[in-house]
Amino acid sequence: MQEVQHATSRRASVGKHAGAFGARRGAVIFDDLRAIQLRYGFLPKAELEGLSQRNQTPLYQIHSVASFYPHFHLVPPPKAEIRVCADMSCHLNGASSLRADLQRRFAHAHSEDVQIRDVSCLGRCDHAPAISVNDHILTDVTAAHAEQIARSAMRGDDIHEPRPEQAPITCKADPYGETEKYGAVRKLVPSKAWDDVLTQLKAAELKGMGGAGFPTSMKWDLVRKQPDPVKYVVCNADESEPGTIKDRFIMTNLPHLLIEGMIIAGLVTGAKRGILYIRHEYHLQEEILGEEIRRCHRSGLLGKNILGSGLDFDLEVFVSPGGYICGEESALIEAIEGHRAEPRNKPPFPGQIGLWQKPTVINNVETFINVPQILARGVDWFVAQGAGGSRGLKFVGVSGHVARPGIFEVPMGVPMRDVIFNHAGGVRGGRQLKSFAPSGPSSGYLPASMIDVRLDFKALAEAGSMLGSGAIVVCDDTTCMLDMALNAVRFYRNESCGKCVPCRVGSQKMADMLVRWTQGGVPESQYRADIALLDELSQAMSLTSICGLGQIAPAPIQSVLKHFRAEVDAHVLQGQCPSGICFTPAVRAGEAPRVGIRP
Ligand SMILES: Cc1cc2nc3c(=O)[nH]c(=O)nc-3n(C[C@H](O)[C@H](O)[C@H](O)COP(=O)(O)O)c2cc1C
Ligand code: SF4
Ligand code: FES
């Protein structure tokens, strides 16, 4: 079997191991597939057959996993594979024209030399537009720069992914500063006051920061009460929703708080093993966390007999095989077990039957870092950090049309106006604010008139939106809201895992309908029928989809119909895009034909 010459120009992370603990069970398949792909650049049939024989696993099972994750190649990839992020923040920052420009520059290239494709959010929304070339991520990209990198990949040169400068950032959330870290766990271990931890988390009213806002104390209590002697703690650092970048920041700047939160979760619930599930595009954070875990082992905070207490808790990093759906907690469990990341039907919830059928705590990165803050400084301190009756601090990512995109630490409950205009520097170029998504596509879009809504679970729910993962995406007055709704619906369509019909078929139907609307020329009677069908479809998807992806997919278009109906009517009934975005040949050509579950 010939090894492809350019295999080394692809990221070495595809060859990294899931870790001894993860490899013990089903996750070994990813190690094997990554090793084969690193060697050959793709997964040759003969190698998969060999793997099937060696592991005594049916070939169809290996193939079903390999074909699910977009980062495994079943056919030889081109020498330069350029993927342009097509999602919200990059879309607002010229991704479509960047892609079109690149297509012009490589118009005469052979497909075995270079291919240009869309890709879902790369986790660099604050440095849009972002692209990847052979899995190396480049940010704030111009077409000329991308062309230069792609041409060097075509020559077989190694690509060096730029590493951002690492100036340490002081966060209010860090209770330790320059003093000794892990103070909460050092105090907790000798006292073994596990119930007291739950009491404090309950008094603080800590909620999950991954999107759903479920009370953390209830989740931990459920796992603690399970009689099974084997339990797990999982940190969800998959962070793949467009606009969501806060966990990247937390893992870079506060890795010790995350690990401390996970250790405390293990001690309180009786779990002896933790897995930190991180998206595969976060190479730097993977290194930072790996280093922090080693430091904890050296100082007796992780492993056997933690701080001489007789208690054990160990932790490893698991690198996601990729895909937004992997962030859904039961899909994430399936991925760790070495399967396709298809969500499970619930109940049972992971707290009862989770990883390897054992009770499992799954929390978001930011949820975990709140725990040592509360224990080290007290519930009163935590309550006092919020504004307008909200509690605690919040990390938010702000991207799109703002002057200073980035991640900001703000009091929970501050008005959105404060976040967008003070922290993120307001709308770029002095333009007017048109709308904002409080949390990426899942929150839908709110109009500028709602800018004083507070950054809070309840306030945003009352506004018909959600706090979600704190991914604020800002649109200026040049933005077409129907185009943005289509962009978000396409994201869900592309990322649907395909397990259930309402989401798999419904998201495609919805995208088809919106494409027609952006192209105008729909008779009024047809438009009315479309709207009725869209409502029915939205309801069916919300009620019958297995997981949150299908349930929330209608939110972007429903919010645009609610707040920007006149703009949609203008497209469909008058054949006009008030922002001058739609009805251009480039946009008409933009709807790539759907191939498989992801384009
Ligand atoms: C499609 C989908 C993607 C998700 N992605 C993430 C994610 O990247 N990170 C995360 O913490 N939660 C994500 N969630 C929510 C998780 O399923 C789960 O609720 C969360 O990890 C629980 O942690 P928390 O209680 O601390 O919020 C996602 C949910 C869905 C439906
Ligand atoms: S709702 Fe969508 S993503 Fe979720 S299980 Fe169904 S098909 Fe998969
Ligand atoms: S990197 Fe493009 S939207 Fe996140």
Q: Which ligand is nearest to the CA of 495?
A: 2
What's the pLDDT tens digit per position in 284-313?
A: 999 999 999 999 999 999 999 999 999 999
Bridge partners (DSSP) of residue 207 are 215
Q: What pLDDT, on a 0 to 100 scale, did the predictor assign at position 25?
A: 53
Q: What pLDDT, on a 0 to 100 scale, did the predictor assign at position 23?
A: 39
| Region class of 464: left (phi > 0), else alpha (psi between -120 and 50), else beta | left
From start to end of 442-540, where are the E strands?
446-447, 471-476
Q: What pLDDT, on a 0 to 100 scale, did the predictor assign at position 45?
A: 95
**Gap from CA of 524 to ligand 1 centroid (Å):** 40
Mutate to test the pocket of ligand 3, among 83, 84, 89, 247 (most ligand atoms within 8 A of CB): 89
3-state secondary structure of 559: helix
Contact 88, 400 (CB under 8 A): yes
Mutate to test the pocket of ligand 2, among 497, 505, 537 (most ligand atoms within 8 A of CB): 497
DSSP one-letter string for 238-305 = ---STT--HHHHHHHH-HHHHHHHHHHHHHHHT--EEEEEE-TT-HHHHHHHHHHHHHHHHTTSSBSS
The segments of the chain whose pLDDT lies below 50 read 1-8, 12-20, 22-24, 592-599
Q: What pLDDT, on a 0 to 100 scale, did the predictor assign at position 339?
A: 94
Contact 256, 181 (CB under 8 A): yes
Contact 163, 146 (CB under 8 A): no
Contact 141, 131 (CB under 8 A): yes
Mutate to test the pocket of ligand 1, among 121, 328, 541 (most ligand atoms within 8 A of CB): 328
**Gap from CA of 366 to ligand 3 centroid (Å):** 20
Q: Which ligand is nearest to the CA of 360?
A: 1
Q: What pLDDT, on a 0 to 100 scale, did the predictor assign at position 68?
A: 95
Question: How far is the C-alpha of 223 from the C-alpha of 232, rounded, in Å?
Answer: 9
Order across the sheet with 471-476: list the strands: 406-411, 393-400, 471-476, 433-437, 446-447
Q: What tokens does 28 get?
A: 């070994």
Return the H-helix or E-strand segment holding 60: helix 59-66
Question: How far is the C-alpha of 520 from the C-alpha of 570, rounded, in Å?
Answer: 9
| Dihedral sign computed on CA atoms, order 326, 329, 334, 338 | positive
Q: What pLDDT, on a 0 to 100 scale, did the predictor assign at position 371?
A: 98
Residue 308: CB atoms within 10 A of its CB come to 9
Contact 209, 366 (CB under 8 A): yes
Question: How far is the C-alpha of 372 from the C-alpha of 365, rounded, in Å?
Answer: 12
Question: How far is the C-alpha of 211 from the C-alpha of 171, rounded, in Å?
Answer: 22
Q: Which ligand is nearest to the CA of 405?
A: 3
3-state secondary structure of 599: coil
Q: What pLDDT, on a 0 to 100 scale, did the predictor assign at position 71?
A: 84
As a residue count, the chain comes to: 599
Q: Residue of the nearest CA to atom 1 in ligand 2?
A: 550
**CB of 209 sitting under 6 A from ligand 1:** yes
Order across the sheet with 114-119: list the strands: 114-119, 80-85, 131-133, 136-138
| Dihedral sign computed on CA atoms, order 599, 550, 461, 201 | negative
Contact 151, 82 (CB under 8 A): no
Bridge partners (DSSP) of residue 554 are none
Instruction: Provide long-range contacts, Cβ within 8 A and 24+ apart, for 294-302.
Output: 296/182, 296/259, 296/263, 301/182, 301/185, 301/259, 301/263, 302/259, 302/263
Nearest one of 376, 361, 467, 364 to 173, comparing CA atoms: 376
Nearest one of 405, 394, 456, 407 to 428, comparing CA atoms: 405
Q: What tokens does 358 get?
A: 């054992």
**Gap from CA of 350 to ligand 1 centroid (Å):** 12
- Going from the C-alpha of 500 to that of each of 503, 507, 554, the distances in angstroms are 6, 11, 16
Instruction: Provide long-range contacts, Cβ within 8 A and 24+ apart, for 146-151.
Output: 146/82, 146/98, 146/102, 147/102, 147/105, 147/106, 150/80, 150/82, 150/102, 150/106, 150/114, 151/80
